[in-house]
Amino acid sequence: MEKIIEVRYASGSIRNYQKDILSAELTELFLPVSWIEHAGGSTGMYNAEGYRPVTEMFGFGVKRKNGSDIAYSLSGYVISVIGAAMEAENRYLFPEDYDISPELVYARVDAASLYSAKLIWKSALTHSPEKNTAWRFSEGLKSLFGLPACRNADDPDGYIASMVRILSEDHPGLAALYSRIDGFRKSIQFSRNH
């Protein structure tokens, strides 16, 4: 049985070419979607089969976990999103066109697809010309580390705080941000194994 998420969009809040790219599944960044047009806008029917909202995975009611485990897991999903966002730029879906927040991120739940995450499209409402795209994008990713599981984690080594600090740094682009987070994730892996 498919898990369908319906999202309504006001007329003009998403461009036709963006809907075409999303429905053709030309990028790995977004959940598969079909569109229903209606008076006043359209409805996106997202297929979230095999995915869970990160707000469930790292939200209230989650057993208290070790900070390194949470930072390692979340950074894997963050790397997945950044890598797919770099690819989506080649399809004319630019980070300044959409928002990222915990409610929009869905993570793959099967073991074969380690750390795969996808988004639901939400058009960016504001553009901040004084901030670069990587900064705005990283601010959205940083919000993932404000989820309850992160705030309540047992993190004496400060992995979650370090991840937030990395996402707060100035990055010249998505590739630099990807590289920095990937390096930090590898250092977490190394410290967990030794």
Q: Is 25 within the bounds of a domain? A: no
Q: What is the percent of the chain where pLDDT is above 90?
A: 56
pTM: 0.90
In tens, the pLDDT along 153-186 reads 888 889 999 999 999 888 778 898 899 999 999 9
Q: Is 27 within the bounds of a domain? A: no
Of 27, 26, 45, 25, the closest CA to residue 36 belongs to 45
Q: Is 153 within the bounds of a domain? A: yes
pLDDT band, residue 57 (cuts 50/70/90)? confident
Q: Are 106 and 118 in contact (CB under 8 A)?
A: yes
Q: Domain tally for the chain? A: 1
| Structural domain span for residue 123 | 50-193
In tens, the pLDDT along 25-56 reads 999 999 999 999 999 999 999 999 999 999 98
H runs (alpha helix) in the chain = 16-23, 54-57, 67-89, 133-142, 148-151, 159-168, 174-193
